């Protein structure tokens, strides 16, 4: 009986560790590895979408600071940031198309 409880405790702790890792890295709460039910393309899409949200937030903050001052400031969006956002959008669109056409 004690061994069974210890095994259940270990399984619960492992599930909690996986859920915490998945929530922090992929923003998906799941108590087992995401690789078990997601393809590599789907995991890459999750990472790219998170990167796009972060870049979009940085661009938005720079635009707000620039519009408040009326002049370009440090941290204001530049062509490199906008090009990176366009590149991310292209990669995301390509991955979504690949995932949609993949056999299930």
Same domain, 54 and 74: yes
State the pLDDT at residue 67. 56
Same domain, 60 and 33: no
Range of the domain at 19: 1-37
What gap in Å lies between CA 34 and CA 39, rounded to an integer?
A: 9
Same domain, 62 and 97: yes
pLDDT in tens, 8-57: 999 999 989 989 988 888 888 888 888 888 888 998 999 999 999 988 88
State the pLDDT at residue 82. 83
Same domain, 57 and 26: no
Same domain, 62 and 89: yes
Same domain, 43 and 21: no
State the pLDDT at residue 102. 83
Same domain, 20 and 43: no
Total residue length of the chain: 104
pLDDT in tens, 45-104: 999 999 999 888 888 766 665 555 566 555 556 678 888 889 999 999 999 999 999 887
- Residues 6 or more apart in contact with residue 30 via CB below 8 angstroms: 18, 19, 22
Same domain, 60 and 79: yes
State the pLDDT at residue 31. 86
What gap in Å lies between CA 27 and CA 15, rounded to an integer?
A: 16
CB 96 within 8 A of CB 42: no
Number of domains in the chain: 2
State the pLDDT at residue 25. 82
Nearest partner of 50 among 30, 26, 28, judged by Cα:
26
This prediction's pTM: 0.69
- Residues 6 or more apart in contact with residue 19 via CB below 8 angstroms: 29, 30, 31
Same domain, 43 and 87: yes
Mapped onto helix, strand or coil, the DSSP state of residue 19 is helix
């Amino acid at each position: 009986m004690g061994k069974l409880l210890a095994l259940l405790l270990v399984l619960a702790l492992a599930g909690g560790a996986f859920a915490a890792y998945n929530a922090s890295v992929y923003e998906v709460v799941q108590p087992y590895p995401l690789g078990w039910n997601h393809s590599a393309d789907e995991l890459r899409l999750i990472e790219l979408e998170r990167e796009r949200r972060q870049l979009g937030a940085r661009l938005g903050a720079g635009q707000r600071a620039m519009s408040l001052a009326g002049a370009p400031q440090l941290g204001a969006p530049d062509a490199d940031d906008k090009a990176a956002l366009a590149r991310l959008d292209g990669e995301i669109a390509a991955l979504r198309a690949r995932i949609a056409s993949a056999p299930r």
